[in-house]
Amino acid sequence: MNDALRRAMYAAGLGEVDIAARLDVDPKTVRRWMKGRLPHPRHRQLVAQLFEVDEPDLWPELLALPGERGRSAEMAAIYPQRSAVGRESWLELFEAAEKEIGVLAYSALFLAEDRRMIRLLEAKAEAGVAINLALGNPDGEQVAQRGRAEKIGDAMAAKIRNALVLYRPLLRHASVSLRLHDTILYNSMFRADDQLLINQHVFGIPAAQAPVFHLRRHDGGEMFAFYLESFAEIWSSAEPVDGLSV
C-alpha cells in the first residue's frame, strides 16, 4: 500500500476518481498506484505537482533507483524531448504563475500557435502577472546560424516573425514586455514563478526533439538561480519592442 499517496489524497479531499479525471487516466490505474504500483514518470510528475510535493515524498522507493540519490532536489522531472511535455502540462505550468512568467527562446512558436495558451497569458496579464518574452531577433546573426544548424535556413526567422504576430495582442497589457535578442542560446527557458522548464539545444536538432529539464526552486539549491541569472543577463541586453514594432 502507498500510505503517503493515500494521506496526500485524503488531505486534499480527492478520491481516485478525482485524480483519474485530472490526469486523464482510468480510476483503476489510480487504484493500482494506491496499492503500491509505481506510476510512469510523467504521471508521477503530474501527481506530485497536484499535491505540491516532490516525487520521493509520495514514492520513497525512487531514492533507491540508480542515479536518484545524486539527483538534485530541484529536478522535478526530465523529458527525453520537448514533444513529450503534453499540452496540458504547459498550460498547467503557466496557470500556476501568480507573479511572473518568463519565456526565453528563438521563437516559442509552439506556444504562440496555441489559442488556449494565448488566452491564458492574456488572463494572467490582466491579473497583473508580469510576463517577459525574449525572442530571437529575426534579422540577427544567431538566428541565421540556428537556421543553418537545423538545416531550415530562413525558416527560423520566418517562425519568429510568425510568433511575433501571434504574441502581439499581449502587448496591449502593461504587464507584458517583449524583447528581441541576438544571443547564442544553449537552451530555451520557460518560467512560472518557482518552476522552470529548460529545453536543451542540440546542434542540428530541432528544439522540439531535444530534452527538457523541469526545475523547481528549492532551499539550498543552485540550479534554479543559475539559470535565472542567465535569463536575466540575456534580458538586460535584449532590445525592447512595442506593439507597433512587431
pLDDT tens across 90-142, in order?
Answer: 998 999 999 999 999 999 999 999 999 999 999 999 999 999 999 999 999 99
Helix (H) or strand (E) holding 84: none
Place of cell 528563438: 106
Of 99, 121, 114, the closest CA to residue 171 belongs to: 121
Determine the Cα angle at 91 with ends 98 and 79, to 5°: 110
d(CA 119, CA 113): 11
Low-confidence ranges of the chain (pLDDT < 50): 69-70
d(CA 26, CA 16): 9
* DSSP assignments along 58-80, one per residue: H-GGGGGSTTTTTS-TTEEEEES
In the prediction, which pLDDT does 70 show? 45
In the prediction, which pLDDT does 63 show? 61
In the prediction, which pLDDT does 109 show? 96
Determine the Cα angle at 83 with ends 140 and 153, to 5°: 30
Domains delineated in the chain: 3-70 (1.10.260), 77-241 (3.30.870.10)
Cα distances (Å, whole numbers) of residue 68 to 43, 199, 202, 223 = 17, 21, 24, 16
